[in-house]
A = this chain, B = another copy of it.
Amino acid sequence: MSADSSSPAIEPCFDTLAVIGPGLIGSSVLRRARQTGTLARRLIAVEIDPAFRERVTTLGIADEVTGDVAWAASEADCVMLCVPVGAMGEVAATALPAMRPGAILTDTGSTKMSVIDAIRPFLRPDVAYVPAHPMAGTEYSGPDAGFATLFENRWCLLTTLADADEKALERVTELWRRCGARTKTMTPEHHDRVCAIVSHLPHLLAFTICGTADDLADETRSEVLDFAASGFRDFTRIAASDPVMWRDVFLSNRDAILEMLARFTEDAQAMARAIRWGDESYIVDKIERGRSIRRSLIENKQA
């Protein structure tokens, strides 16, 4: 489905969709919903910052823009939490008691086990909860950063709970398919390990190398950073991401990230040893492996 197709024959997934936190992800969902008309009949955006509320109103991507989480939750048959993972529990505590029986709660957090743990105490038997994670993003944040095609050909990972409501899972899955995403269901544990290696660790390495380079520049009082070649530019692009979001991600997925960093460090030390001792075949083998992974990503349309 292309971004601008808007067939009147398709029934919207929901009557009223409340997006809490219309940042990069949330505002992209709203734009998609606006553009296609197939996600929901009515769109509510909830934003606590008055300046951002004004931006969302100006952008015209929601029918109503409010700072009132409970009111929005009481109006919607689908409430989507798009706030930083560290804020999910607090927002859910306000939203859940206000929700209608039969409505669906979902979220877009980058980590799943900690978000589920934070939301679980407030869950109600008459509201289905479907944790989701659209694996899309840029280094920009805020309501102006979103765009309707952000999720196209990207994965949206849905995680299953022991007491999962199959019908609710299917409805949220369909919403993400209509955003252009490919969907997959897995356990929260598996999700967190996968994301630790393909997303969280790369960000941690990128933030770290920027600091290492900056220290060297201070020490030599020189222009180290002026000479960023292509290798370093890509790292700084990643490192430009939102600090609060990433702080929360690192703290929320601590165990998996520390495990992946330990594995990575072992591998980096093995590479260092090969460089020290001139083990050419080891080095070439590792580089070839990187290339073949790149090729498989291109075949999978993820690169």
Contacts and interface: CB of A to CB of B under 8 A. Distances in A.
A145 interface: no
Interface stretch (A91-99, A165-173, A269-277): A269-277
Nearest to A196: B216
A300 interface: yes
Contacts of A195: 227, 229
A222 B190 contact: yes
- Count of chain copies: 2
Nearest to A202: B231
A223 B262 CA distance: 21
A155 B227 CA distance: 7
Interface in A220-265: 220, 222-241, 243-244, 246-247, 250-251, 254, 257-258, 260-261, 263-265
A213 interface: yes
Interface string A269-290: 1011001101010011011111
Give chain A's interface residue range (CB within 8 Å of chain B).
35 or more
Contact of A293 (B213, B261, B296): B213
Interface stretch (A9-17, A37-45, A68-76, A134-142): A134-142
A49 to B, nearest CB: 18
Nearest to A137: B230
B250 A290 contact: no
Contacts of A251: 275, 278, 280, 283
Give the 3 A-B residue pairs with the shortest CB-CB distance, closest first. A239-B290, A202-B231, A210-B290
Interface of A: 135-139, 154-155, 157, 184, 190, 193-195, 197-216, 220, 222-241, 243-244, 246-247, 250-251, 254, 257-258, 260-261, 263-265, 267-269, 271-272, 275-276, 278, 280, 283-284, 286-291, 293-297, 300, 302-303
